[in-house]
Chains A and B, each alone.
Chain A
Amino acid sequence: MSAFSIWSLFVFLGLGTFLLRLSFIYLFGKVEMPDWLRRALRFVPASVLAALVFPALTYPAGILDLSLGNVRLLAGLGGALVAWKTKNILWTIVVGMILFWILQAL
């Protein structure tokens, strides 16, 4: 990516994110959040994050690979166990990466 497209990406990300954050702090008393939106937003983190995680583990080299030879899938399942038990980013990364390096070396 060129420096221009990178900085313009940041500006769009930043501006959009800022407007989302300001939204109802600014609109308070003028617009109510519609009920369907309130209900939908509750599911945004879980569904988006899963949509990022699942393909990253199952398409290690751009091709679907559900075999035991898929190091990312195996290390990812180990990481998932840590994530589930601790909900802690640092521990999940530490254990997942160590598993990843060990499995790669085997």
Chain B
Amino acid sequence: MKRIQQDFITGARDTLPILLGVVPFATICGVAAVSVGLTPLEAIGMNFIVFAGASQLAVFQLMSIGSPWLIMVLTAWVINMRFTMYSAALAPYLQKEPLPRKSLFAYMLSDQAFGVTMSRFSNQVPSSPAWYYYGSAAIIWVTWILCAIAGALLGTLVPESWGFDFAFPLSFMALMFAALKDRPNVVAALVGGTTAVLAKGLPYNLGLVVAALLGIASGMLAESLRQPAREGAIQ
């Protein structure tokens, strides 16, 4: 028991520096929800139910331009597909846990919790890895929810004339540059972005989905073109 508690606390402690980024992001998510016309209750409810900031911001942007319901759902799901990658990487460490706890751990999975946990596990796997992860994920969840609530309440004070909807593309930009880790990713972003501009006229905002798929495909293509070149260099 003692060891479990220790790993939980270590996970939470290792996460503290990351919270500096979580606080403003969650607050912005709360403010943004209210700025597109959601009530504070809806804004807070969404953070409990969805708990995935980037996809929530994407939904707000689509709400602000009057996109259909289905496109909002599809876009958010596509953005959150990255969680399957995290899920696969964490899975071996969570196998001993019963399904209800696995479900709780899955619900709390975030980019930040994944990042902190995997960077620790790559150095040294703690004696109770599930509880280390839980400590990290839980402190992020609590911080996120509290800040999103504060943001939703603050959001009612932000006048519409400020043009706060412009904060959406700005926040995506910061997330996008963080994702440009290598050249194939830059190709994916350029193709995805350009296609979205050219396909803007497609009905039901379908351009977004088409652009995302083309971007992903061209990233994969760029990567496979690069691979043989690299092997050649090694020889």
The answer to whether A and B assemble together is yes
> Interface on A for B, CB 8 Å cutoff?
1, 3, 5-7, 9-14, 16-18, 20-29, 33, 37-59, 64, 72, 75-76, 79-80, 82-84, 86-93, 96-97, 100-101, 104
27 contacts between A and B (CB under 8 A): A13-B55, A13-B56, A13-B72, A13-B73, A17-B83, A18-B107, A20-B81, A21-B84, A21-B109, A22-B102, A22-B103, A24-B88, A25-B90, A25-B102, A43-B184, A43-B216, A44-B82, A49-B172, A50-B211, A52-B75, A55-B207, A55-B208, A83-B176, A84-B177, A89-B171, A92-B173, A100-B166
B163 within 8 A of A: yes
Instruction: In the complex, identify which listed stretch (B9-17, B43-51, B138-146, B149-157) lies at the interface while the others stay far away.
Output: B43-51
Known contacts A16-B80, A24-B84, A93-B28: A46-B166 contact under CB 8 Å? no
Check if B77 is an interface residue, CB within 8 A of chain A: yes
Indicate whether A53 sits within 8 Å of B212 (C-beta atoms), given known contacts A16-B73, A44-B81, A76-B170.
Answer: no
Point out the residues of chain B lying under 8 angstroms from A20, CB to CB: 77, 80-81, 83-84, 87
Report A22 CB to chain B, min CB distance, Å. Answer: 4
Q: How far, in angstroms, from A18 to B109 measured CA to CA in the complex?
A: 9
A24-B84, A97-B167 known; A92 vs B174 contact (CB < 8 Å):
yes
Task: Name B's interface SS.
Answer: helix
Q: Indicate whether B225 reaches chain A with its CB closer than 8 angstroms.
A: no
Whole-angstrom distance between the Cβ of B225 and the nearest chain A Cβ: 13
Other contacts beyond A14-B49, A90-B24: 18, CB < 8 A: A16-B77, A16-B80, A20-B87, A21-B109, A23-B83, A24-B88, A25-B90, A26-B102, A39-B220, A42-B85, A43-B216, A44-B81, A47-B219, A50-B193, A58-B197, A59-B200, A83-B176, A101-B162
How near does chain B come to A27, taking the closest CB pair, in angstroms?
A: 8
